[in-house]
Amino acid sequence: MAQRLLIADDDNEIRELLEFDLSQSGYDVDTAKDGEEALHKALVGNYDLILLDVMMPKMNGFDVCKNIRSSKADVPILMLTAKGTINDKTQGFDSGADDYIVKPFDIQEVLLRVRALVRRSPASKTKTVSQEILKIGDIEIFPDSLETEIKGKRIKLTPTEFEILYCLMQHFNNAVTLAVLLNEVWGYNSDDDVRMLRVHVGGLRQKIEQNPKIPDYLQTVTNVGYKLTPFGEDSD
C-alpha cells in the first residue's frame, strides 16, 4: 500500500508540480490550498508525511504545524517556504517541523527528503527502527508509540527526536559525529543541515533533561558531535 502524503500550498503551480512528481514516485497524494484546509485534513486524515508551506491564507504554516503537533506528535512534517534565514528555519523547527526546504527547490532534493522522513512514519511499513523495546540505564524507548521513559516518566517524542535518541542509544557512551547522525536520522549529510540537527537536539534535551542547559544524559562532545550517557552524568 502506497504511503499517503498531504501537500499544503496556496501556489497552484508548486502544489500541482509536487503532486505530479510525488504521485509518479508511487505516493498517494492529497492536497490543501490554505492553512485551515491543511489543518482539517491533517487532523482527520491518516498521512505518512505532511509537506507544509509557511505563507498560506487563513492560517500560516507555523501555526498549522503547532496545531498538528499538539494532536499528532508522530506524523513527520516537511516545511516548504521561500523564507530561508536561520531565524525562519529555527521558528519552523520550534513549531515542530522535522525538516525544512527553501523555495525554489530541486524536486530531486524534495524526493530525497520525503523518502528519509516517510521511512520514520509510524504508519509506514518501511521503518528501519526495531519494534522491540530498548532499555539502557535510565532510558527506555518504545518505537510503536515514539515514546521514551526516564526514571518512570513517560515522554512523547517527535519522529526526528525519537530517531536521534535511538541512534545515540545504539552508540551509548560513545561519541557520535554530526555526519553519522545526519546520515542515520535523515539519510543524507549536508553541512547546511547541522543547524537543523542542533535545533532538534535542543528540543530533545528540553524533554528528557531536568536542566537542558546542564544535561545529564545527552552530552555535547566538542568538535565531534554528541553522546548519550544513559545512566546520567553531570556535564563538565
Average confidence (pLDDT) over 9-14: 94
Residue 65: φ, ψ to 5°: -60, -45
The confidence score (pLDDT) of residue 236 equals: 36
Cα 40 from Cα 176, distance rounded (Å) = 39
The confidence score (pLDDT) of residue 109 equals: 79
Q: Which three cell numbers stand for residue 231?
A: 545512566
pLDDT band at 59 (very low <50, low <70, confident <90, very high): very high
Does the pLDDT value for residue 131 go beyond 70?
Answer: no
The confidence score (pLDDT) of residue 108 equals: 81
The confidence score (pLDDT) of residue 82 equals: 79
Count the alpha carbons within 13 Å of 223 in the hemisphere toward its beta carbon. Answer: 0
Cα 83 from Cα 86, distance rounded (Å) = 9
CB 140 within 8 A of CB 133: yes
* Runs of H (alpha helix) within the chain: 12-24, 35-44, 61-71, 86-95, 107-118, 159-170, 178-186, 194-208
Query: pLDDT above 90 covers what percent of the chain?
Result: 46
Domains of the chain: 4-118 (3.40.50.2300), 134-228 (1.10.10.10)
Does the pLDDT value for residue 232 go beyond 60?
Answer: yes
Does the pLDDT value for residue 88 go beyond 80?
Answer: no
Average confidence (pLDDT) over 210-222: 94
72 versus 196: the higher-pLDDT residue is: 196
pLDDT digits (tens, 9 = 90+) for 176-194: 999 889 888 877 666 667 8
The confidence score (pLDDT) of residue 160 equals: 85
Cα 174 from Cα 7, distance rounded (Å) = 39
pLDDT digits (tens, 9 = 90+) for 135-178: 888 999 988 788 899 988 999 988 888 889 988 988 888 999 99
3-state class of 186 per DSSP? helix
